[in-house]
C-alpha cells in the first residue's frame, strides 16, 4: 500500500565548502534588448525560483576517464548555452502594470562550486530520493552571490538562474539549478539543461534551438476573460494552510507504487477507470485525504484544487506552440466541491471532478487566463494545487557522467507559501522500487490525520466498503 517515504539519510548532516560565486556570462556577444514575458509567465503565483537537483556518480566512461572536474565542464557548457539562451543571462525587470520583462544585459548566471569533503554517494543510502538531506547546503542563494552582481530579495532586478555544483568525496557530484518560474516552466527548464548537457558532451550547438515568442500568450486588446477562473478567487477556508509560512508547517512524503495506483483505479467504475490517468487518480486521492485531515468546521465550505494543464498539445483545441518555446505553457484547471461532499463520497467522486476540470481547458481557456492577468493586475492563485512532474525527464539528463542517480524538482519548494504546492515526482524507494513520491505540507496535527486517512483509504477492499 502507499507508504510515507522516509530516508535512511534522516540523520545525515553535512556542510559544504562553497567557493565565492562567480557570474558565468555568455561565451560570445549576445543582443542587448528588453524582452517582455508573456501574460501567462508573469502572474504573481509564479514569482519564485524552481529548484531542480540532479545527483551523479563518478563515471569512468566519460571523457578523461571520469577525472574531469564536473564544475569546470558544466560551467563552460553553461557559458556556451547562454549564447543561445541569452535572456537567462540577463536580469528581471518590473515595468508598468507589474509587467515583467528580461533585460538582456549578459551579466551572467551566478555559479558556485562547492565540496562536500566528508560525504560520499553511498552515505545517501541504497537509493537517492526525496527528501534529500541538507538541501540548503546544495542550493545557491542570493546572499552568497558577489556584491557586484545585481541582486535583490525581490524578483525584480534578480538573476534568472542560480547554479551550484557540489563535488562529493567519492567523485560523484550534485548539480542544483534554480530558475525563475516566471521565465520558464519545468519543461522549459529541462530544455535549457538538455542544451547544457549536449554542449558538455561536445556538441557544437543545441539540437533544439530556443524560441522566445512570448507574444503568442499575451492578453487580447481589450482583455475579455471568458471563464470564471476560480483559481484566482480570494476566498480561502480559514483552516486551510495554503497561506501559512513554512515554519508553521511540516512536510511529508507519500510514495505510491504502480500497484497502489492500480488498486485505487480498480475501485472506480469501468468507464471512469479507463479514462482516468495516474495524475487524475492520485490528485483526487490526495485532495480527499487532505480535506479530511484539515477537518474544516463547515461541511458546506467550498474547497478547490488546482491542476496544472499543459497548453503545448493539440488535444481539445489547446495551443500549438513552436518547438523550442521555453516559456510557461501551463494553466490551472480547478475542481470544486464542498468539504462535506468530498469527505463523504468515495474517491471516484473526486476523480470525476478532476477529470471534468481538465477537460474544460482549451485554447480559449488559456487565452482567457492571459486576459484575466492584465485585467486584475496579475493576481496570485488562491488554492492548493498539484503538478505532474513524472514525464518531465530531469532524471535523463547526461552531462557526460551518464544518467543521474536521482533527478527532479527538489521537494523543498522555494515559494514563500510552500503549503500551496504538491508535485508528483518519479523516484525509487529505499528498496529500489519505482514509483511516485508526492510531498505535502500541512500543520503537524493535520499531517497526523492525513497519514491516518491515507492508510484508511488504502486498506484492502474486504476491510472497507468503498474508497
* Active site residues per annotation: 181, 398
Q: What is the largest CA-CA distance in the chain?
A: 68
Q: From CA 268, how far away is CA 322, in angstroms rounded? A: 38
Dihedral angle, C-alpha 214, 217, 218, 220, nearest 10 °: 150
Other C-beta atoms closer than 10 Å to the C-beta of 397 total 20
Q: Are strands 173-180 and 49-56 parallel, antiparallel or unpaired?
A: antiparallel
CB neighbours of 273 closer than 8 A, spacing ≥ 6? 265, 266
**Dihedrals phi, psi of 403, to nearest 5 degrees:** -75, 150
Q: From CA 155, how far away is CA 215, in angstroms rounded? A: 22
Residue found by looking up cell 517582455 in the block: 36
Q: From CA 456, how far away is CA 267, in angstroms rounded? A: 14
Contact status, residue 360 vs residue 213, Cβ threshold 8 Å: no
Strand partners, 425: 437
Cell of 85: 539562451
CA angle 38/363/336 to nearest 5° reads 95
Q: Are strands 302-310 and 17-18 parallel, antiparallel or unpaired?
A: unpaired
Q: Are strands 161-168 and 250-256 parallel, antiparallel or unpaired?
A: unpaired
Amino acid at each position: 500500500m502507499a507508504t510515507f517515504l522516509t530516508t535512511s539519510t534522516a540523520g545525515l548532516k553535512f556542510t559544504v565548502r562553497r567557493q565565492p560565486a562567480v557570474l558565468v556570462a555568455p561565451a560570445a556577444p549576445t543582443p542587448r534588448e528588453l524582452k517582455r514575458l508573456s501574460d501567462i509567465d508573469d502572474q504573481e503565483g509564479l514569482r519564485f525560483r524552481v529548484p531542480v537537483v540532479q545527483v551523479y556518480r563518478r563515471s569512468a566512461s566519460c571523457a578523461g576517464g571520469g577525472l574531469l572536474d564536473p564544475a569546470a565542464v558544466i560551467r563552460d557548457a553553461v557559458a556556451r548555452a547562454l549564447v543561445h539562451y541569452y535572456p537567462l543571462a540577463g536580469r528581471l525587470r518590473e515595468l508598468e502594470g507589474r509587467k515583467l520583462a528580461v533585460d538582456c544585459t549578459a551579466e551572467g548566471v551566478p555559479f558556485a562550486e562547492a565540496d562536500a569533503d566528508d560525504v560520499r554517494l553511498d552515505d545517501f543510502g541504497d537509493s537517492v530520493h526525496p527528501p534529500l538531506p541538507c538541501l540548503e547546503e546544495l542550493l545557491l542563494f542570493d546572499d552568497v552571490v558577489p556584491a557586484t552582481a545585481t541582486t535583490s530579495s525581490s524578483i525584480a532586478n534578480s538573476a534568472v538562474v542560480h547554479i551550484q555544483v557540489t563535488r562529493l568525496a567519492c567523485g560523484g557530484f550534485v548539480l542544483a539549478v534554480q530558475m525563475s518560474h516566471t521565465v520558464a516552466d519545468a519543461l522549459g527548464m529541462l530544455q535549457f539543461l538538455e542544451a547544457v548537457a549536449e554542449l558538455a558532451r561536445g556538441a557544437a550547438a543545441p539540437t533544439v534551438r530556443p524560441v522566445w515568442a512570448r507574444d503568442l500568450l499575451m492578453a487580447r486588446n481589450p482583455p475579455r476573460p471568458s471563464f470564471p477562473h476560480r483559481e484566482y478567487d480570494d476566498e480561502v477556508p480559514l483552516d486551510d494552510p495554503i497561506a501559512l509560512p513554512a515554519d508553521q508547517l511540516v512536510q511529508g512524503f507519500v510514495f505510491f507504487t504502480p500497484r497502489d495506483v492500480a488498486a485505487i483505479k480498480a475501485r472506480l467504475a469501468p468507464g471512469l477507470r479507463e479514462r482516468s490517468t495516474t495524475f487524475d487518480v492520485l490528485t483526487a486521492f490526495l485532495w480527499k485525504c487532505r480535506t479530511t485531515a484539515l477537518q474544516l468546521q463547515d461541511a458546506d465550505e467550498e474547497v478547490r484544487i488546482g491542476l496544472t494543464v499543459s497548453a503545448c498539445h493539440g488535444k481539445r483545441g489547446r495551443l500549438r506552440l513552436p518547438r523550442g518555446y521555453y516559456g510557461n505553457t501551463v494553466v490551472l484547471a480547478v475542481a470544486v466541491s464542498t468539504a462535506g461532499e468530498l469527505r463523504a463520497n468515495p474517491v471516484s467522486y473526486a476523480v470525476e471532478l478532476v477529470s471534468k476540470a481538465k477537460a474544460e481547458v482549451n485554447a480559449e481557456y488559456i487565452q482567457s487566463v492571459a486576459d484575466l492577468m492584465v485585467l486584475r493586475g496579475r493576481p496570485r492563485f488562491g488554492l492548493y494545487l498539484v503538478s505532474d512532474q513524472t514525464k518531465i525527464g530531469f532524471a535523463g539528463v547526461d552531462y557526460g557522467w551518464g544518467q543521474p542517480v536521482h533527478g527532479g524538482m527538489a521537494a523543498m519548494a522555494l515559494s514563500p507559501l510552500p503549503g500551496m504546492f504538491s508535485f508528483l515526482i518519479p523516484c525509487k524507494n529505499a528498496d529500489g522500487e519505482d514509483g511516485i513520491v508526492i510531498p505535502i505540507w500541512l500543520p503537524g496535527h493535520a499531517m497526523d490525520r492525513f497519514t491516518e486517512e491515507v492508510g484508511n483509504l488504502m486498506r484492502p477492499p474486504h476491510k472497507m466498503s468503498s474508497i
